[in-house]
Every structure is written in C-alpha cells, then in structure tokens.
Amino acid sequence: MYRIRFHGRGGQGMKTASRILGRAFFLAGYEVQDAPRYGAERRGAPIFAYVRAAKSPINERGIIQHPDLVVVADDSLIGLPAAGVLSGLTDRTIFLFYSDTDEKSWQHRLNLKNTLFTIPVDTQAVDPLQRRYAGVSCVGGAARLTGVLDQATLKKAIEEEMADRSPHTVSTNIDHANATFSLLAQHDTIIEEGAAISAVGYEPPKWLELAPDPAAICAPAIYGGGTSSKVQTGLWRTMRPVIQYDKCRQCWWICSTFCPDSAISVTENRYTRIDYDHCKGCMVCVMQCPSHAILAIAEKDADKVTLQEVPS
C-alpha cells in the first residue's frame, strides 16, 4: 500500500492536491482513501492531507502514522513542531520539498539520512504568485516518484477535480504538474509500497472513566479564563501586512472591522496597530484599505523592513 502525506498551510491547496493524487490512483485501478485534516483555522494555519492507495481493499483508518512519502509544499513548516512534518518517519520514508534550498542543505539541517528531493522554486519567476501552484507541482512530483501513474492519468485527474474552473486555470495547473513530473524522471518508481499493518499488538486508546457532572456544571457556561490569546497564531503567517502611517487616512473602522481575527486595534488618536503575535497574514486589510497604505511583504523578508512607529 502507498501511504503519502501532504503538508502545507491553509489556502495552499493541500486538500485539492490529495484529491488529485487520490483520483489519479483511482483512475489507474487502485483502491483509494484521501482526506484532509484541519480544524477551524483560517488561511496560513498548518494542515495536512493524506492518500492511501492499494490494489486490494483498504482496511486501515485514521491518519497515516508512518508514511512512505512526505510531501511539503511550504518549507517554513519543517521547523514548526505543531505541523508534524517529521512525525512517524521510518528509514524508508522519502521526502519531497517545494523549496529553493537544495537537498543536501536540508539533509544537513535536519540530520536526515532519508532520500530527499526538492522541487526548486524559481525566485526570479515572472509570475510573483507562482507559489500558488505549489500543491499541483507537488502532485506531479509525487505521481512520478510512485512510478505507477503516467501523465495521461494525471492530466485526467486534474481535469476531473478542477472541472468547475476555467479552461485556462486547468491548463496552467496541468502544465505545472507535468513540469515536475518531467523534472523527477530519473527517480521514477523510487517509492516502495509499505507493508500491511497488523492488528496484533495494537494498543487501543486509553479511555478515562468520568463521573457525571451536576447539571449546573453541564450548563453551557464558560468558567475558565480565555486561552486563545496564548496561542500565537502569527507563527502561521507567510505574508505580513505593514502599515505606512504617512499614507494612512485614519479611516480606522475599515481595516479594524474587516480583520477576521481582531488583530488590528485602534489607538486613542485613531491610528491602527497590528498585533503580529496573532495576525495570520490573511491580507484582508491590504485588500480593504482604500488609500493603499498597507503593504504586503513576505514574512521571510520582514526583518529587512523598517516598521514605522505609530504616530503619537
């Protein structure tokens, strides 16, 4: 059975990537499971999706604990423990990173002996938004590494999964998938199917016996203090909004109202301030600002930008 796990951030198409690869396996005659795993988080939160594919019925359920292939569409997740990119590895696990850092550098950083491939990111690309195709590029690479999926099957899977998109969008995604498929041609069939997992020796979950609570405690009331402020969701951010106060018109009600996470506060003199500990980088404020006073910069370049002080 092939066990493949995709890692990315919300909005990068990991759910779609797993569905495309799962459909390609299905079209090739495999039994398939594909599913995403994420919570109520918004854009930028770490998520993962997985695909199982086998020629026989699949009895396994739940997330993939020991993947044969780990695909990472955003390399900033690799050092983030909550993303779980490196969890459940075995000696035979293969990595595929969408990254502008080469394979040897990653193996040295992570102290890994596992086989690792990268899909290079063209930092000089004409299209500044080429990373939006990271998911489908990873699908093309994963399909090639399995060695059991051809380009015709991959093309049909993309067309079926993206049937509601424009012909141009579908064609562009197919081109990106084919480019990665060709890039990894010399590594065809490098992934080996993992063995079946035996139920013998399986440890069931540790259940806790809880006594019934009094009705007053069971009522829909919150007795504990708030904890959401303790979770620094700013770590999910890949793009950072930066306010240029010399262009700000002090129409504070627009950006502060549209911010979906209440990460924009208003000072006494009606200037806005962004809470970078909790700003997830959704860029809604950038799109809503009528004076274009809010810039969007890559998080990795944030230390190169001098932030303007909030006017007093």
pLDDT digits (tens, 9 = 90+) for 46-76: 889 999 999 999 988 888 989 999 999 988 8
The predicted structure's pLDDT at residue 284: 86
- What pLDDT, in 10s, does the model give residues 143-163? 999 999 999 999 999 999 999
Provide the 3-class DSSP secondary structure of residue 254: helix
Kindly indicate the confidence band of residue 21, based on its pLDDT and cuts at 50, 70 and 90.
very high
The dotted CATH code for 232-304 is 3.30.70.20
- What pLDDT, in 10s, does the model give residues 210-265? 777 776 666 666 666 667 777 888 888 888 999 999 999 988 889 999 888 889 99
Give the distance, in angstroms, between the CA of residue 272 and the centroid of all CA atoms in the same chain.
30
Provide the 3-class DSSP secondary structure of residue 13: coil
CA dihedral 51, 56, 59, 64 (to 10 degrees): -30
The predicted structure's pLDDT at residue 97: 95
Residues of the chain with CATH 3.30.70.20: 232-304
The predicted structure's pLDDT at residue 27: 96
Residue that the structure tokens 């890994």 belong to: 112
Provide the 3-class DSSP secondary structure of residue 213: coil
Q: What angle do CA 64, 9, 81 make, to 5 degrees?
A: 65
- Which fold, 2-187? Pyruvate-ferredoxin Oxidoreductase; domain 3 (3.40.920)
Residues of the chain with CATH 3.40.920.10: 2-187
**Range with lowest mean pLDDT among 65-69, 79-83, 136-140:** 79-83
Does 176 have pLDDT greater than 80? yes
Does 129 have pLDDT greater than 70? no
- What pLDDT, in 10s, does the model give residues 190-216? 888 888 777 777 777 778 887 777 766
Burial of 131 (0-12, 13-18, 19+ CB in 10 A): middle
Higher confidence at residue 168 or residue 130?
A: 168
- What pLDDT, in 10s, does the model give residues 113-124? 999 999 988 655
The predicted structure's pLDDT at residue 216: 63
Q: What is the largest CA-CA distance in the chain?
A: 68
Does 303 have pLDDT greater than 90? no
Kindly indicate the confidence band of residue 164, based on its pLDDT and cuts at 50, 70 and 90.
very high
**pTM here?**
0.71
Of 114, 88, 93, 92, nearest in space to 103 by CA: 114
Q: Compute the distance between CA of residue 44 and CA of residue 241 in angstroms, rounded to an integer.
A: 14
Of 37, 132, 138, nearest in space to 96 by CA: 138
Does 182 have pLDDT greater than 70? yes
The predicted structure's pLDDT at residue 71: 96
Locate 104 and state its tokens: 């040897």
Burial of 173 (0-12, 13-18, 19+ CB in 10 A): buried
